[in-house]
Amino acid sequence: MPKSNLQFISSHPAPYRIIISGGGTGGHIFPAVAIANELRRRQPEAEILFVGANGRMEMTRVPEAGYDIVGLDISGLQRRLTPQNLLFPLRVIRSIKRAGKIIEKFRPEAVVGVGGYASAPILLAAASRGIPALIQEQNSYAGLVNKLLGRRVDRICVAYEGMEKFFPKNKIVLTGNPVRTEIASGDRAEALTFFGLSPTKKTLLVIGGSLGARTLNEATAAALARLQAADVQLLWQTGKLYHATAQEQAAPFAADGIRALEFVQRMDLAYAAADVVVSRAGALSVSELCLTGKPSLLVPSPNVAEDHQTKNAMALVRRQAALLITDAEAPARLYDEALSLLADEPRQHQLSVNVRQLARPDATAAIVDELLTIMDRR
C-alpha cells in the first residue's frame, strides 16, 4: 500500500477540480471529508464540491467541515409500499438531470463516490461524459449503489479482501478506509477537561453510529446505576432521536461523570478519554478503533444488508483484536462484559496491541493516489 512519504506525484495541471458524492450517515460522510482534506493538503487551491441528498446529515456536516455542498432530491426505496416509493422513479430521473447540470457547471476532472443515494446520479453522469470516476467502498459487503456502478467507474478502493464477488477484479485496489488521522491524536488530559471527567476514574465510551442505536441506548440506560457503583465514567453518544430521553436518564448521575451526548463532534478527544469502547461495527467505527488502538466490545447492527457489520466485527475478533456481543445478547450481557473488561488491564492491553496491527493509517493517501492516477490516464 502506498505510504504517505511515497505519494503519487500527479502531472495533472493544477488546481484539481473534484466532485465527491454520497452520504446519508457518518460512515459515508467522514471518509468523504477525509479524502477532501487529503486533496487540500496536497493542493490547497483544489476546488472541491460535495453532492449530497437533501434532508440528510451531509447537508450540515459537510459545511461544518469547510466544504461547499449541493443537494439532490433523492432518497432510497422503502421496504413497504408508500407514496415515496411511487415517486421514486421520477426523483431518480430528476436527480440524474440535476447531476448532469452540476457536472456541466462545475466541470470536474474526476468524481468520487462514497456510497449513499446521492452518489449514483453523479457517478452515472460522470461516466456518461467520460470523466474519471472512483468508488470508495467501506464495508465487507458492498452497498447497492456501488455494486450497480462498479462496472461503470475506473477504480474501486476497498477496505476488505474478497471483494471480487461484487466488483470487477481488475478495478479493485485494497486501500483500507479513509479515517481522519487527527482522530488518533487527542490528548487525554485535554479530553478529560473538555468533557468534565475525572483523571482518577475509568471511562467507557459508547457510540452507536451517527444516528444512534436503540439496543445500545436501552442497555446503557439500564446500566447507569451499575456504572455509578463501579466508579466508571461514561461518554454516551445517543443519536438525535434518543437524546432527550437519555439526558433525563443520565441527569441523576451527572456528578459521577455520566454524560449523554447527542453527537460527539470531537471524536479525537472522546477516544483519548476512553479506556474501553462499546460500538456498533460499521466500517468507519472499526477503522477508527484500529487507528486509535482502543480495546472494544462490538455489537453489530442486525438491520444491515447481508449482516455486514458482523463480518466487519469478525475481521477483528478472528485476530483477537476485539470482543463481540450480538444485538440479541446485549441487553443481558453487554455491561457484564464491559465492566469485566474495564477491570482487566492486561486484557485491554492485548486487545489494544492486536487491533493496532490492523490499522491502515495511509488509507486516505492511497485512495487519493489512485484518484490522481486515473486522472492522469485520461
Q: Looking at 178-336, which runs of residues are DSSP E strands?
A: 202-207, 232-237, 258-261, 276-279, 296-298, 323-324
Annotated binding site for UDP-N-acetyl-alpha-D-glucosamine: 25-27, 139, 180, 210, 283-288, 309
How far apart are the C-alpha atoms of 312 and 197, rounded to whole Å? 31
* 260, 266 contact by CB (below 8 A): no
Which residues sit in the known binding site? 25-27, 139, 180, 210, 283-288, 309
Per-residue cell: 83: 407514496
Cα–Cα distance measured from residue 274 to residue 295, given in angstroms and rounded to the nearest whole number: 9
10 forms beta bridges with none
How far is 87 from 220, CA to CA, in rounded Å? 39
d(CA 67, CA 240): 23
Instruction: Using the structure block, give the residue that is written with the C-alpha cell 474495564.
Output: 342
Give the whole-angstrom CA distance, residue 337 versus residue 139: 26
